[in-house]
């Protein structure tokens, strides 16, 4: 059988998996066990009988419960208040760490690497050693079940230890993206009445030291924190409050002592995570032990087919749901190995990410579409990608935003080498993972997000609530990792998600289903631009712009127009600085007029060197729109930006 398992065909525009290559995949095994020959039949049964499906997933993953649940779910209080795994007693740590201590304690659980190339590896036994010490230290400070612990750390071992230690004793972890500034941190700590903060003095990015102490010092003044635990604390830290403790001193007397895993109710809170804040005020989202345990396991085991001998490198911060679902909990529940990189993937050289994959024999690689486009642009300049064979890779993943065709094909051909299925998925913080995903069982179409994942009764509605092939993404039945509410805005929970259609979850993505039944994300409800009465998805326009060979990245926003309602403003990153922008601008206008219509002609096309993005590569569309409207961007908003110089360049 040929090594190439997928083939891109220009005529039919899809890829087909080699069935024999994936006959032993986790999802194939599950389907055979339950008598399904077709993936679509599994999807159909899983949404017709969600109780059967999630109970079967629990059994297939061999999840451990202190006391088995008496019922899979209960919606007596309404679908939006559905409770899962009724009367079940569990703790996600029992399945993420504890059970592996008996099966394979020396198996590597985590690999950490930084920009200097320094590497640390931890077995499951070593992870247990460290989280037990931290858990006992937290308990000695009076931390108990339900207390909130803030984690403001880069991707270093102590950050993961903190997450797992909190879960082990029933505390609720609130991970905060290490790129946030003082105001954003203070808000996230104050909203949740955080008891203790774990942090560090500084981080290093592109070889430069970045001070974090000023940010959390401000937070200390604004919040009633009992302690701040500082990793690698500097001696000169001002400790007038007496609340600062060095991490090593904090845990030292508990090293080598075993901490029992707390018995939790299935519905007890596991963590609170803020949405990214790229579309407005961030919301705190609550997830639970039982529900998140099932879904993080399901999505890692079946959706990306992770196995115990896999090394997963999904470049996602622990402050975002991708990091929690797959890189931390899902990988552990599967019993595999997860790699964390503390730094910028293209530093100190543009091919650093390639070297990391090769060095650690990564088999599953995940990255945001924006990062893929950055890799493409770098490769156009330095031509490095063909010197890597990526022979250890078997699965590629991407998420975070819609991917354009050129980036999809480049990622598939240049990184996957035609061997690796490209799992393009989409979901959200409130979902606890993905709603839609491609699958390697059958066909893949470039840019498609495939189909609803089994167990997620997704559909597409028009404004009146009728099912359609071009409209809004909704979910008609509950799922285990559905957010249990918004701790900092409980009155908004129903309004935001459950009020547009009765007893239906409204997600906000705009979906198009093609004639073969493949789903595509064309934008967000807040990304729609209405020009002269025509509703246009920003992603549709951006894909057209990026089909030009001289466009590396493009983003469009709408601005008020007295006559047309809204006008389109395009921000373009050319593939080369020497390109004649006047000629390119004319080409792009003609391209839009040809593919959409003359009414969609942009009011402005602005050429920039880069676009503002988060550390994980997600474009900050809201800030770009503020720039287009000449509205000043606050320091709090700027703290989201990994490359703040891009904002300054856009204002020139």
Which of 541, 64, 103 minimizes the C-alpha distance to 290? 64
CB 417 within 8 A of CB 389: yes
Confidence of residue 280 (pLDDT cuts 50, 70, 90): very low
353 CB neighbour count, 10 Å cutoff: 24
DSSP state, 605? E
* Residue 527 main-chain phi, psi, to 5 deg: -100, 0
C-beta atoms surrounding 249 within 10 Å:
12
User: Could you tell me if 346 and 353 are in contact, meaning their C-beta atoms sit under 8 angstroms apart?
Assistant: yes
Give the residues across from 426 on adjacent strands.
436
Residue with tokens 């910028």: 344
Q: Comparing C-alpha atoms, which of 123, 618, 54, 164 is closest to residue 374?
A: 618
Among candidates 75, 218, 87, which has minimal Cα distance to 152? 218
Cα 182 → chain centroid: 23
C-alpha–C-alpha distance, residues 505 and 483, integer Å = 11
Quick one: pLDDT at residue 491? 59
Checking if the pLDDT of 115 tops 50, the result is yes
Q: Quote the CA–CA distance of 181 and 233 in Å, as a whole number.
A: 19
Whole-angstrom Cα distance, residue 402 to residue 285? 23
> Is the predicted pLDDT of residue 27 greater than 60, yes or no?
yes
Tell me if 453 sits within 8 A of 295, measured CB to CB: no
Q: Are 83 and 99 in contact (CB under 8 A)?
A: no
> In 10 A of CB 594, how many CB atoms?
10
The pLDDT assigned to 235 comes to 64
Asked whether residue 494 carries a pLDDT value surpassing 90, the answer given is no
68 contacts 88 by C-beta, under 8 angstroms: yes
User: Is the pLDDT reported for residue 536 higher than 50?
Assistant: yes
Average pLDDT taken over every residue of the chain: 90
Which residues are within 8 A (CB) of 504 and not within 5 positions of it... i.e. 6 or more apart?
461, 465, 474, 475, 476, 498
CA distance 542 to 624: 14
Q: Whole-model pTM above 0.85?
A: yes
d(CA 608, CA 487): 39
Residue 152 is encoded by which pair of tokens? 């403001």
pLDDT at 1: 33
The pLDDT tens digits of the residues spanning 586-643 come to 999 999 988 887 888 999 999 999 999 876 677 888 889 888 888 888 776 777 788 8
Over residues 154-160, mean pLDDT: 97
| Phi and psi, residue 84, nearest 5° | -120, 145
Do 61 and 470 meet the contact criterion of CB atoms below 8 Å apart? Answer: no
Q: Strand (E) positions, 350-476? A: 364-366, 395-398, 422-428, 433-437, 443-444, 451-452, 458-461, 470-475
Predicted confidence at residue 277, as pLDDT, reads 41
Q: Set out the domains of the chain in order of their start, with CATH numbers.
A: 15-91+267-521 (3.40.50.12780), 124-262 (3.40.50.980), 532-651 (3.30.300.30)
Place of tokens 């993080």: 296
Q: Read off the DSSP letter of residue 538.
A: H
Using a pLDDT cut of 90, give the percent of the chain over it. 69
Model pLDDT for residues 366-412, shown as the tens digit of each residue: 999 889 999 999 999 999 999 999 999 999 999 988 898 999 999 99
- Pairwise CA distance, residues 588 & 585, whole Å: 5
Backbone angles phi, psi at 567, to 5 degrees: -120, 155
Q: How far from chain centre, in Å, is Cα 646?
A: 23
In percent, the amount of the chain with pLDDT more than 70 equals: 93
Q: pLDDT tens-digit profile of 50-68?
A: 999 999 999 999 999 999 9
Q: Which of 564, 573, 572 is nearest to 589 (CA)?
A: 572
Task: Identify which of 552, 558, 553 has the alpha carbon closest to the alpha carbon of residue 532.
Answer: 558
Residue 139 token pair: 């308990």
Within the chain, what is the greatest distance between any pair of CA atoms? 71
Q: What is the pLDDT of residue 506?
A: 96
For 161-226, where are the E strands, in sequence order? 172-175, 196-200, 202-205, 208-211
* Cβ atoms of 545 and 555 closer than 8 Å: no
Hey, what are 316's tokens?
Answer: 């996602």
């Amino acid at each position: 059988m040929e090594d190439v398992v997928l083939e891109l065909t220009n005529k039919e525009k899809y890829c087909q998996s080699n069935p024999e290559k994936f006959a032993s995949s986790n999802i194939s095994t599950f389907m055979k066990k339950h008598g399904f020959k077709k993936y679509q039949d599994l999807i159909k049964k899983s949404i017709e009988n969600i109780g059967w499906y999630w109970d079967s997933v629990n059994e297939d993953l061999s999840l451990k419960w202190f006391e088995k649940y008496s019922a899979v779910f209960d919606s007596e209080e309404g679908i939006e208040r559905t409770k899962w795994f009724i009367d079940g007693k569990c703790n996600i740590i029992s399945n993420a760490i504890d059970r592996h201590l008996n099966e394979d304690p020396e198996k590597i659980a985590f690999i950490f690497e930084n920009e200097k190339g320094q590497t640390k590896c931890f077995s499951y036994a070593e992870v247990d050693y460290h989280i037990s010490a931290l858990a006992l230290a937290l308990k000695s400070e009076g931390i108990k079940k339900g207390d909130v612990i803030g984690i403001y750390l880069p991707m270093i071992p102590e950050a993961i230890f903190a997450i797992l230690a909190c879960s082990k004793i029933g505390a609720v972890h609130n991970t905060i993206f290490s790129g946030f500034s003082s105001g954003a941190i203070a808000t996230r700590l104050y909203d949740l009445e955080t008891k203790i903060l774990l942090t560090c003095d500084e981080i290093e990015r592109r070889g430069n030291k970045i001070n974090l102490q000023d940010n959390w010092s401000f937070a200390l003044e604004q919040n009633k924190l009992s302690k701040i635990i500082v990793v690698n604390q500097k001696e000169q830290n001002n400790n007038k409050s007496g609340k600062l403790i060095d991490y090593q001193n904090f845990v030292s007397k508990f090293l080598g002592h075993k901490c029992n895993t707390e018995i939790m109710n299935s519905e007890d809170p596991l963590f609170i995570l803020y949405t990214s804040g790229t579309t407005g005020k961030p919301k705190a989202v609550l997830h639970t032990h039982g529900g998140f345990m099932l879904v993080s396991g399901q999505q890692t085991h079946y959706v990306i087919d992770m196995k115990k001998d896999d090394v997963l490198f999904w470049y996602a911060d622990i402050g975002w749901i991708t990091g929690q679902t797959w890189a931390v909990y899902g990988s552990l529940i599967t019993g595999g190995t997860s790699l964390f990189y503390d730094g910028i993937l293209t530093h100190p050289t543009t091919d650093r990410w390639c070297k990391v994959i090769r060095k650690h024999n990564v088999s599953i690689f995940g990255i945001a579409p924006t990062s893929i486009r950055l890799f493409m642009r770098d490769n156009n300049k330095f031509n490095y990608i063909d010197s890597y064979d990526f022979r250890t890779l078997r699965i590629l993943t991407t998420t975070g935003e819609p991917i354009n065709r050129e980036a999809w094909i480049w990622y598939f051909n240049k990184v996957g080498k035609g061997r690796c299925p490209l799992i393009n998925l989409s979901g959200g913080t409130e979902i606890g993972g993905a709603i839609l995903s491609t699958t390697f069982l059958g066909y893949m179409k470039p840019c498609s997000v495939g189909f609803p994942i089994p167990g997620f009764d997704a559909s597409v509605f028009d404004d009146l609530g009728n099912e359609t092939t071009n409209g809004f993404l909704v979910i008609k039945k509950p799922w285990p990792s559905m957010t249990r509410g918004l701790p900092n805005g409980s009155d908004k929970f129903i309004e935001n998600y459950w009020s547009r259609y009765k007893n239906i979850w409204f997600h906000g993505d705009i979906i198009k289903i093609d004639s073969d039944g493949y789903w595509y994300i064309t934008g967000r409800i807040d990304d729609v631009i209405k020009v002269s009465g025509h509703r246009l998805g920003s992603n549709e326009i951006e894909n057209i712009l990026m089909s030009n060979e001289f466009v590396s990245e493009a983003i469009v926003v709408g601005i008020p127009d007295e006559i047309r309602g809204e006008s389109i403003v395009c921000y373009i990153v050319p593939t080369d600085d020497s390109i004649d922008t006047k000629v390119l601008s004319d080409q792009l206008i003609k391209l839009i007029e040809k593919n959409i219509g003359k009414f969609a002609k942009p009011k402005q096309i602005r050429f920039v060197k880069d676009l503002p993005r988060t550390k994980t590569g997600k474009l900050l569309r809201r800030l770009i729109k503020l720039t287009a409207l000449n509205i000043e961007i606050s320091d709090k908003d700027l703290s989201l930006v990994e490359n703040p110089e891009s904002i300054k360049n856009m204002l020139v």
